[in-house]
Amino acid sequence: MRNDRMLEEFIELVSIDAVSGQELEIAKRLTAKLEELGFTVTMDKAGEVFSGNCGNLTAIREGELDGALFLSSHMDRMPNGFGIKPVEKDGVLCSDGTTILAADDISGVCTILEGVRRAIASGKPLPRLEILFSVQEETNFGSKAADYSVFQAKMGYVFDAAGPTGQFINGAPGGYDLDVYITGKAAHAGSAPEKGINAAKVLCDIVSSLPQGRIDAETTANYPILSTGTTARNVICDQAHIAGEARSRDPKKLADYIERFKTTCQDIAQRHGAGVELKIVEEYPAFLVEEDHPLLTMAKQVCGRLAIPFTVIAGGGAMDANIYTGKGIPCVGVATGYTKNHTREEQMVLADFFKAGALCEALIEDFAESLKK
């Protein structure tokens, strides 16, 4: 069934320019909407931490029942998100072809707003509702800077996943950012190359020796950024930098890969007589929610009642659910009907989007019923 309120709100919000680090205007609009629904809204310091103009929004509405449910999506979008003009054709919403659509993740924001509105309007007793609209999910995971002491929920749903409504993401890889800084020795490339230590050669040997791409079903690695500090052709390169990442849904496999990364870089640099400095930063932990967890058993029950096909998959990309689960609030991702996100071909099936609003309402109400029991 068509839901013009959801569609109009989506168009309203994507029309507000809001890339990662510049979410303030959309945060202001969402604050007003949430306060109208009886939520107390606060903004944290994530903008200061990650050099943005806005922090995460935390919105809390006290309930009539003991217990709390956590809901989240993110306010930011990819860089090509200015001047979005949505176009509807044959039940599918897309941009005019010059920008992304930003269904990732404004569709999630609208889904939560719709679900909460409908649950409140039902007049039924509800749990405490805790909403986190995060910033910089696409870049820095602004959710890492949230104040988790204010949350009481023991589980939650993150409406931020591509695919048809009814698809839930129960796991995603942990990931590390990996940097290698190589120090060689400059020399004239024509008259005294043997006196130099070629940092560029060390760089190439390291990259060619490290496993990368699809390593196994759960593990990937990538080294897309290679640079040197040399601009002249007749100088032996004395500085080089490699920037990459590694991910795995299996923490042990990821730890093993990181160890191999260390030894490979150090051994090759030593063989060439070069200096090497490694920077290894965990960006997000892996998470896995088993299919018998209440988050998924309740979701399956709700989907059955709404005649929505229910599926569970493990994702290959990280999301705020990684951060929340790591902070002690187990979460799963929830699809809202979009595909081809991060591209100008991004689109959203409106029937799925509208179902997502009903699904969010039903999840809130079923959680409330579980508290009564």
User: How far apart are alpha carbons 160 and 176 in whole angstroms?
Assistant: 21
Cβ neighbourhood burial of 250 (10 Å; 0-12, 13-18, 19+): middle
365 is catalytic: no
- Phi, psi of 152, deg, nearest 5: -110, -15
Cα separations in angstroms, 206 against 187, 211, 212, 341: 22, 10, 11, 33
DSSP SS3 for 286: coil
Bond from prior residue into 105 cis (ω within 30 degrees of 0) = yes
Active site residue 76: yes
Phi-psi region of 214 (alpha: psi -120 to 50; beta: other; left: phi over 0): beta
H or E element that contains 49 = helix 46-49
Of 9, 23, 130, 137, the catalytic one is 137
Closest to 161 in 3D by CA, of 121, 208, 199, 111: 111
Which position among 9, 23, 76, 365 bears the catalytic label?
76
Decide if 93 contacts 101 (C-beta within 8 A). Answer: yes
The residues assigned a catalytic role are 76, 137
